[in-house]
């Protein structure tokens, strides 16, 4: 599927592949080979979390050197995070929670956002601000499959990307739900594989992830 990163929507991000990798990078030198390995395995939407001092540089490197990838910024918690992410080249954002200030900042910047929610009230707040595609986080700790099933009734118009505790062994169960478009997970970007530069392993994990049924 052809995706224009400059006309991206949150739904485009969610529907591109069954899994959005949740990436934590401590070394800028790892960013480009990691992104290339994921793209080779069929994963293009890459969430680089703003959890390390190097994260923005990593997003910048991927945006510059891996045009087939779509670099996104995770752990957006403020308007300044959103602004810095866009300046670094991020084409979408993901937040661990939701505030109207973050939602407005991303909208003003033209940055598609997957806001994090864990309760019905948070879903309603995000919907009031026009967000229908949401990240359910932390998915397992906040109720997992039973919670998503319960939300199908009152929030049947919302599409979720559950993240947090998702792995190869349970991802298919989440993807089978009608209100789930994709899952977020770190299992396809294991820390040891990144540190060892085992890009072939990461490519294979990405390839396996694309085969998960939705």
**Residues classed as catalytic:** 47, 135
Based on the number of CB atoms within 10 Å of its own CB, is 108 exposed (0-12), middle (13-18) or buried (19 or more)?
A: exposed
Q: Write the secondary structure of 51-96 as one string of H (helix), E (strand) and C (coil).
A: CCCCHHHHHHHHHHHCCCCEEEEECCCCHHHHHHHHHHCCCEEECC
Nearest to 86 by CA among 5, 1, 3: 5
């Amino acid at each position: 599927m052809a995706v224009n990163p400059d006309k991206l929507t949150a739904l485009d991000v969610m529907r591109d592949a069954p899994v959005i990798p949740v990436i934590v990078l401590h070394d800028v030198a790892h960013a480009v080979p990691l992104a290339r390995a994921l793209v080779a395995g069929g994963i293009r939407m890459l969430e680089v979390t703003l959890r390390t001092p190097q994260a923005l540089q990593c997003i910048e490197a991927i945006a510059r050197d891996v045009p087939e990838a779509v670099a996104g910024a995770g752990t957006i918690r403020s308007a300044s995070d959103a602004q810095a992410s866009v300046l670094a080249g991020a084409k979408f954002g993901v937040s661990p929670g939701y505030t109207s200030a973050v939602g407005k900042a991303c909208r003003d910047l033209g940055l598609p956002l997957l806001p994090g929610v864990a309760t019905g009230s948070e879903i309603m707040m995000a919907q009031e601000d026009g967000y229908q595609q949401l990240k359910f986080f932390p998915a397992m700790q906040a109720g997992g499959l039973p919670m998503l099933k319960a939300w199908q009734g009152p929030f049947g118009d919302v599409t979720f990307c559950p993240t947090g505790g998702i792995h190869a062994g349970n991802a298919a169960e989440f993807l089978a739900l009608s209100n789930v478009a994709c899952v977020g997970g770190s299992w396809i970007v294991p820390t040891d594989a990144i540190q060892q530069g085992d890009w072939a392993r990461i490519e294979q994990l990405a390839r396996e992830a694309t085969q998960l049924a939705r």
